[in-house]
Amino acid sequence: MQLDKLLILILLIAFLVRIFPLGFPSFTSDEARVAFRGYSLATSGKDELGRSFPLFFNSSTDYQFPLVSYLTAAGELVFGKNDLGVRIPFILISTLLVFVTYKIAEFFNNNRLFKLSSAFLVASNPVLIFLSKIPNEIIVLTTLFAWLFLLLVKQQKLMIIAVVMILTVLTSKLSLFFLIPFTYLTLFKQKKQAVILAMIIVALGLILFFSNEQARRSFIENNFSLFSDVTVKNGIDKLRGYGYEAGWPKFIDFVLFNKLHYLSIGLLHWLSYFSPVLYSGQLDPSGLLNYFSLGAWTKILIIPFLLGLLHLIRAKTNAKFLIGYAVLFTFPALFNYPKLDLTLIILSMPFIALVMSFSLLKLNRLAVILIFCIVIPELFLNIYDVVPQEKNSVDLRPNWVSGLVTNIDQTAKSETTLVSDDIVSDIGPLIEWYTNFNPQDGFEQLKSPYKFTQYQIGKVRLLGAQQIFTTCGIEEKIIIYASPRDLKKIKRDFKPIIDSTYSDSNNKIRVYKITNTCIR
């Protein structure tokens, strides 16, 4: 197989923009947990809670599927406990996605511009670049589904297809939602065996998933808020509550507000996933999933996207079905009301790149060059000017805590050390990741942890909101790293001695090291 030299250049660029700057973005607490888990698995074969090679993992928001954790472990096994070790598997997977997109483009049209522009668009996609630098399910799932698409349309052997399908199921529970419709849409009745295979794998995945008690709980809690969460405005329980209050007969309430409610409310919610602003304006202002001032694509690409859409609507080819993938991948949103799960949008990126590339074929070469000339500066200005990004996500991706937790770790070696639990959300994994923490010191006796937060990290103990403070006895020596919440509580009763303070990336004091206060 002779590779196009320009493709090699695009792959090289894709790899380089993904690997540099290596330390950006800083990890969230959950990502730090995966990073530390990878180290623990690589060195001891146990996860951060001491369970040997588990299938499902703990997380602060949901139950995590295994593939991402084991990929992280593989990276750290080779490169050690550092940024490169954690990030390299995802950087490589994301670079592979560029190549897979090129091969998919080849299937639709052998035109060199079409293939290369498809690959380039994926290589320069901001959200794919961002996500390739952190341990996460979405970049893996996006690559796997693109690969699966390629295997399906090229009618490859069922064994290989089965392996990729299994990998998608092991990556994220999202794949359980759309593996079957994805296979069906891609093949469009051409190869029924693959659809049946997808059904079997999804069924096995569901059995595996529901055999785990905590996974069942996760499924109910995270997917049926429309039923269970009374804070949801149009939630079924809430609407039924109104009905009872108004004295409606129980039967009418049941008829009006039942599982069919998903069809109306869920569909409206789904509609919000097709907002052009998310794709070309601003995907995630929080900086969790993307550079905060960029959409899923750089802005100018809305033009080739619309033109590509117009071209495909008019065209009489199977490529028309590419439009359907954006609709298909956002389909689980129906069950996720009212949370806007932006990750669903990202899965369709390679397919949208193909839609855009169809229009580039029709455009004047000068216009194509002009579009790329606008894409590149916007992209580079955002991905290399990381300071505003760090300031924007000071709570979510707190890179400033690395110095703090190193000091906490040093203190904990000689003194009893307490840390407020609201310095940042779930600081435990950050302490474990940024210090030389020994995984065995954090092992807990838990079989099926779910949304479990560790409050004892080796010698460091976290302080909750209910903690009561007191003065220290003669022999007592405790160091407290207090948040403004706890400092306020301490100051209410006596005068603390503040040894030092720690500021965040916005130069706001976030932590006070207090040496004369103890706890009751």
Partner 1 sequence: MNTFHGIVMNKLVIFFLAFFILGFLFFSFRITDVPPGINGDEAAIGYNAALVAKTGHDSSGRFLPLFVSAFDLTDWKQPITFYSTVLAFKLFGPTFILLREVSVVFVLISAILIFLLGRELMGLKFAFISLFIFITIPSVLIQSHLALENIAPVPFTILWLLMLAKYKNTFKQKFLYLGGLFLGIDLFSYSAVRIIFPIFCLLSIGFVYYLNRKKNFRFKICSILKFSVIVAIFPFFMLAIKDQYPGAILAYNRPHGVPTYQEFVISYISSYDPSFLFIQGDSTPYHSTGKQGVFLLATLPLFVFGIWRIAQRKDPFLILILLTFLLTPAFYGLAASIHRGSRLLSLLPTFTIITSFGAVELFKLKKFWKNLAIFIICGLIILNYLDFTRDYFYDYPNRVKSEFAKPYQLVFEKAGQLVKSDDFTPYIQSDFRGQNEIAIDFFEQTFPGNLKSWKEGQAVPAGSVIIVSDYILAKKKEIPQFNTGEGFGLLINQTKNAIR
Identify which of residues 63 and 279 has a Cβ nearer to partner 1 in the complex.
Answer: 279
Amino acid at 370: L
Interface of this chain with partner 1, residues 281 to 320, rule: CB under 8 A = 281-282, 293, 299, 302, 306, 309-310, 313-314
Identify which of residues 216 and 299 has a Cβ nearer to partner 1 in the complex.
Answer: 299
Identify which of residues 84 and 340 has a Cβ nearer to partner 1 in the complex.
Answer: 340
Interface of this chain with partner 1, residues 351 to 380, rule: CB under 8 A = 378
Interface of this chain with partner 1, residues 376 to 415, rule: CB under 8 A = 378
Site string for partner 1, 237-276 (x = CB under 8 A): -------------------------------x--xx-xxx
- Cβ-proximal residues to 385 (8 Å cutoff; 6+ apart), any chain: none
Cα–Cα distance measured from residue 362 to residue 42, given in angstroms and rounded to the nearest whole number: 50
Q: Kindly state the smallest distance separating residue 377's Cβ from partner 1, in Å.
A: 10
Q: How far is CA 430 from CA 71, 121, 496, in A?
A: 20, 34, 27
Q: What is the DSSP string of 333-363?
A: GGGSTTS--THHHHTTHHHHHHHHHHHHHHS
Q: Kindly state the smallest distance separating residue 370's Cβ from partner 1, in Å.
A: 15
Cα–Cα distance measured from residue 303 to residue 150, given in angstroms and rounded to the nearest whole number: 26
For partner 1 (CB under 8 A), the number of binding residues is: 19
- Nearest to residue 74, comparing CAs of 30, 140, 19, 29? 140
Q: Kindly state the smallest distance separating residue 257's Cβ from partner 1, in Å.
A: 16
Identify which of residues 272 and 456 has a Cβ nearer to partner 1 in the complex.
Answer: 272
Q: Kindly state the smallest distance separating residue 312's Cβ from partner 1, in Å.
A: 9
Q: Kindly state the smallest distance separating residue 142's Cβ from partner 1, in Å.
A: 23
Q: Label the pairing between strands 460-463 and 509-514.
A: unpaired
Identify which of residues 191 and 299 has a Cβ nearer to partner 1 in the complex.
Answer: 299
Q: Kindly state the smallest distance separating residue 306's Cβ from partner 1, in Å.
A: 7
Return phi, psi of residue 399, to 5°: -70, -20
Q: In what order do the strands lie in the sheet with 416-420?
A: 456-457, 460-463, 416-420, 478-482, 509-514, 498-503
Question: Which two structure tokens, joined as six digits, stand for 75?
Answer: 């990276």
Q: Do 47 and 57 touch, CB atoms closer than 8 A?
A: yes
Of 171, 175, 280, 389, the one binding partner 1 (CB under 8 A) is: 280
Of 207, 246, 277, 366, the one binding partner 1 (CB under 8 A) is: 277
Amino acid at 62: D
C-alpha radius of gyration, the chain, whole number: 25
Identify which of residues 299 and 461 has a Cβ nearer to partner 1 in the complex.
Answer: 299
Q: Do 157 and 47 touch, CB atoms closer than 8 A?
A: no
Q: Do 495 and 512 touch, CB atoms closer than 8 A?
A: no
Binding part of the chain for partner 1, among 209-217, 277-285, 392-400, 485-493 by CB under 8 A, reads: 277-285
Q: Kindly state the smallest distance separating residue 299's Cβ from partner 1, in Å.
A: 4
| Residue ranges binding partner 1 (CB under 8 A) | 268, 271-272, 274-277, 280-282, 293, 299, 302, 306, 309-310, 313-314, 378
